[in-house]
């Protein structure tokens, strides 16, 4: 299966993946998933946003779901998302090879727009599928070209996940914990609270040559000091703060910009620490704006609370926290007993072409997932 996916959306220059939601490479993978499900005789159910569950109808009662997402960040790795979908299908194959007869329906799910790289809201699909987000609140979200979500999908209709009794997401690990512990597979204990905050800095466009330094109202300068302040604040508190996206207007080499918009991604070990980090960065940015003659507006775009995974998988593997967001966090917050399995990533790098995983570790992940599903569906 993996060889089917590997070329889709891969950039020849960087080796990274561009699988933007509702665009060609991601849709190609979505069609591939439907083919795989049909080839296994699974019953497909989808919602109007494009979330899909492929059911192995069996037994009775609330279903056990496993899966992940097929979209990627801009220039992302091969495994973030697709590994969980491929492993879910492979776990179904493994269970059938074992002759297992589920006592509950088993589903393989694919959620759309997990990364939020197109419409800005991470886990968009699972928020809609679980009922955490309404279609009327989502329909007007716009991508960087101004295209609204409602322009690319129909949306609306019932939430897909009603009647789901448990969810397990397998994911490539996005840090170094399993490498340090010399373990191929681990289980997640929790997801750190995290959020995205839009910082709009406004100043005055002016000539780069003729404007004296003292006469400038330069929002890029305010932004630069804010990025340094965020980095320092996060280091001091052992938390995470990143400015990874910037829009500069008019974006010319020989003009002081009039506007800079930057997005802060902040992640902390507690909700109090997250609030305090964002407050500290906002305060320092506002002070700096006062000195630069610029103005600042901060808009939280999405904030996710702490998630503790309550579903005990009974595996004897390392249990590790993560500061990455996942659809599993949304389902857990919606009250569905949820767990995550991680597969070791030797590079320890993710959201980058350098993300990797070894075939033997991936197979260990599939076996662990199959064991877990067998227990949950017995
Ligand atoms: C999604 O992968 C995130 O944690 O940003
Ligand atoms: Mn990701
Ligand atoms: Mn992911
Ligand atoms: Mn994620």
Give 324 Cα–ligand 4 centroid separation in angstroms: 6
pLDDT at position 99 is 98
Which of 252, 264, 256 lies closest to 294 in space, CA to CA?
Answer: 256
pLDDT at position 363 is 98
> In the numeric block, which tokens belong to residue 115?
């990364």
Ligand 3 ion local residues (Cβ < 5 A): 80-81
Best residue among 82, 113, 326, 350 to mutate for probing ligand 1's pocket (most ligand atoms within 8 Å of CB) is 326
pLDDT at position 168 is 98
Gap between the Cα atoms of 368 and 33, Å rounded: 22
Gap between the Cα atoms of 106 and 125, Å rounded: 20
- Please state the atom number of ligand 1 nearest to the C-alpha of residue 123: 1
- Please state the atom number of ligand 1 nearest to the C-alpha of residue 267: 4
Gap between the Cα atoms of 286 and 34, Å rounded: 50
Domains and CATH numbers, the chain: 2-192+306-376 (3.40.630.10), 194-303 (3.30.70.360)
pLDDT at position 126 is 97
Best residue among 69, 70, 71, 73 to mutate for probing ligand 1's pocket (most ligand atoms within 8 Å of CB) is 73
Please check if 80 is assigned to a binding site.
Answer: yes
The residue assigned the tokens 């191929």 is 184
Which of 367, 339, 370, 343 lies closest to 355 in space, CA to CA?
Answer: 343
Cβ neighbors of 144 (< 8 A, separation 6 or more) are: 118
Give 318 Cα–ligand 1 centroid separation in angstroms: 21
Gap between the Cα atoms of 333 and 303, Å rounded: 13
Please check if 194 is assigned to a binding site.
Answer: no
- Please state the atom number of ligand 1 nearest to the C-alpha of residue 194: 4
Cβ neighbors of 305 (< 8 A, separation 6 or more) are: 193, 271, 333
Give 70 Cα–ligand 2 centroid separation in angstroms: 10
The residue assigned the tokens 């590790």 is 320
- CA triple 351-66-339, angle to 5 deg: 75
Q: CA of 322: how far to CAs of 30, 53, 273, 357, in Å?
A: 27, 26, 16, 18
The answer, yes or no, to whether residue 163 has pLDDT greater than 90, is no
pLDDT tens track for 103-161: 999 999 999 999 999 999 999 999 999 999 999 999 999 999 999 999 999 999 989 99
Give 103 Cα–ligand 4 centroid separation in angstroms: 31
Please check if 38 is assigned to a binding site.
Answer: no
DSSP state of 90: H
374-378 mean pLDDT: 97
pTM over 0.90: yes
The answer, yes or no, to whether residue 377 has pLDDT greater than 90, is yes
Mean pLDDT over all residues of the chain? Answer: 97
pLDDT category of residue 162 using cuts at 50, 70 and 90: confident
Which of 340, 368, 334 lies closest to 165 in space, CA to CA?
Answer: 334
pLDDT tens track for 28-58: 999 999 999 999 999 999 999 999 999 999 9
Task: Tell me the backbone φ, ψ of residue 98, rounded to 5 degrees.
Answer: -75, -10
pLDDT tens track for 283-307: 999 999 999 999 999 999 999 999 9
Task: Tell me the backbone φ, ψ of residue 373, rounded to 5 degrees.
Answer: -65, -40
The residue assigned the tokens 């996005």 is 174
pLDDT tens track for 296-349: 999 999 999 999 998 999 999 999 999 999 999 999 999 999 999 999 999 999
pLDDT tens track for 186-219: 999 999 999 999 999 999 999 999 999 999 999 9
The answer, yes or no, to whether residue 75 has pLDDT greater than 90, is yes
Please check if 351 is assigned to a binding site.
Answer: yes
Please check if 327 is assigned to a binding site.
Answer: no
Give 367 Cα–ligand 1 centroid separation in angstroms: 25
- Lining ligand 1 with CB less than 6 A are 115, 122, 324-325
């Amino acid at each position: 299966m993996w060889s089917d996916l590997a070329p889709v959306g891969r950039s020849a220059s960087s080796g990274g993946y561009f699988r933007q939601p509702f665009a060609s490479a991601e849709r190609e993978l979505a069609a591939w998933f439907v083919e795989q499900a049909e080839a296994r005789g699974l019953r497909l159910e989808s919602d109007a946003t494009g979330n899909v569950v492929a059911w192995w109808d069996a037994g009775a009662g609330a279903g056990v779901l496993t899966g992940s997402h097929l979209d990627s960040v801009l220039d992302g790795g091969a495994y973030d998302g697709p590994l969980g979908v491929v492993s879910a299908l492979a776990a179904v194959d493994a269970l059938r090879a074992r002759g297992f007869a589920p006592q509950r329906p088993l589903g393989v799910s694919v959620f759309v727009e997990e990364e939020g790289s197109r419409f800005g809201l991470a886990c968009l699909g699972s928020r809609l599928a679980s009922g955490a987000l309404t279609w009327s609140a989502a329909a007007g979200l716009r991508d960087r070209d101004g295209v609204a979500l409602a322009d690319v999908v129909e949306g609306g209709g019932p939430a897909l996940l009603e009647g789901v009794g448990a969810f397990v997401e397998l994911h490539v690990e996005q840090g170094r914990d399993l490498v340090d512990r010399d373990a191929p597979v681990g289980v997640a204990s929790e997801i750190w609270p995290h959020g995205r905050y839009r910082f709009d800095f406004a100043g005055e466009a002016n000539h780069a040559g003729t404007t004296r330094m003292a006469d400038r109202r330069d929002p890029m300068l305010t932004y630069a000091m804010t990025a340094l302040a965020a980095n320092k604040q996060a280091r001091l508190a052992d938390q995470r703060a990143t400015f990874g996206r910037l829009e500069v207007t008019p974006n010319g080499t020989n003009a002081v910009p009039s506007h800079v918009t930057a997005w802060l991604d902040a992640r902390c070990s507690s909700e109090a620490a997250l609030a305090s980090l964002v407050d500290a960065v906002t305060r320092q940015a506002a002070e700096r704006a006062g000195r630069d003659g610029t103005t600042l507006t901060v808009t939280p775009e999405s904030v996710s609370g702490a998630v503790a995974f309550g579903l005990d998988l009974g595996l004897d593997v390392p249990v590790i926290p993560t500061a990455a967001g996942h659809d599993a966090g949304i389902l857990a917050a919606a009250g569905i007993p949820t767990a995550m399995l991680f597969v070791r990533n030797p590079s320890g790098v993710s959201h980058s072409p350098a993300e990797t995983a070894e075939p033997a570790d991936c197979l260990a992940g599939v076996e662990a997932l199959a064991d877990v599903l067998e227990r949950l569906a017995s």
